[in-house]
């Protein structure tokens, strides 16, 4: 099965490429993942111009303990709300709303910020298995703070 081989090679490459990083899921994968195993969802909202977001990517999200906690208990989704593609989340499609040329925001981020009353990046949002927002944090979290957050907000 050549097809299977190629998938395995891809998988292998994927696992090598993601070494030291938590397993991330796309929005499309969430529904089937939840069916297979119900877990809370951790949404990491970042933008490409947010330095602290990049900082978290290279420190907190590379911490072994954080990776283990996320890989075993959460579905981690990296979400850049300034990406033009619509996102599908909790049986709803959220569009990207443009506010100028090359700028805009996903309606999902707008809906989240209406609940959290905060608009800064990075945002770490936890949804339960039924897609209910149960916890959020709107600042840089060190690996220690992240672990505390994950323990306390479960």
- By beta-carbon proximity to another protein, the closer residue of 110 and 130 is 110
CA distance 67 to 15: 14
Residues 6+ apart with CB under 8 A from 26: 77
Shortest distance (Å) from residue 21 CB to another protein:
10
Shortest distance (Å) from residue 123 CB to another protein:
11
Residues 6+ apart with CB under 8 A from 153: 126, 134, 135
Shortest distance (Å) from residue 103 CB to another protein:
5
Shortest distance (Å) from residue 92 CB to another protein:
14
CB 81 within 8 A of CB 94: no
CA distance 89 to 43: 11
Binding site for another protein (CB under 8 A): 1, 3-5, 7-9, 11-12, 15, 18-20, 23, 25-26, 28-29, 32-33, 36, 48-49, 51-52, 54-60, 62-63, 69-74, 80, 83-85, 95-105, 109-110, 113-114, 117, 119, 140, 142-143, 150-151, 154
């Amino acid at each position: 099965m050549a097809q299977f081989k190629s998938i395995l090679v891809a998988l292998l490459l994927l696992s090598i490429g993601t070494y030291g990083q938590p397993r991330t899921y796309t929005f499309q994968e969430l529904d089937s993942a939840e069916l297979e195993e119900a877990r809370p969802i951790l949404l990491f909202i970042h933008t490409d111009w947010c330095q602290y977001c990049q900082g978290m990517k290279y420190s907190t999200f590379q911490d072994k303990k954080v990776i283990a906690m996320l890989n075993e208990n959460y579905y981690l989704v990296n979400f850049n709300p300034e990406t033009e593609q619509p996102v599908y989340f909790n049986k709803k499609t959220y569009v990207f709303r443009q506010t100028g040329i090359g700028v805009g925001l996903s309606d999902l981020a707008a809906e989240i910020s209406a609940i959290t009353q905060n608009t800064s990046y990075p945002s770490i949002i936890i949804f339960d298995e039924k897609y209910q927002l149960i916890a959020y944090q709107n600042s840089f979290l060190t690996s220690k703070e992240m672990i505390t957050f994950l323990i306390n907000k479960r």
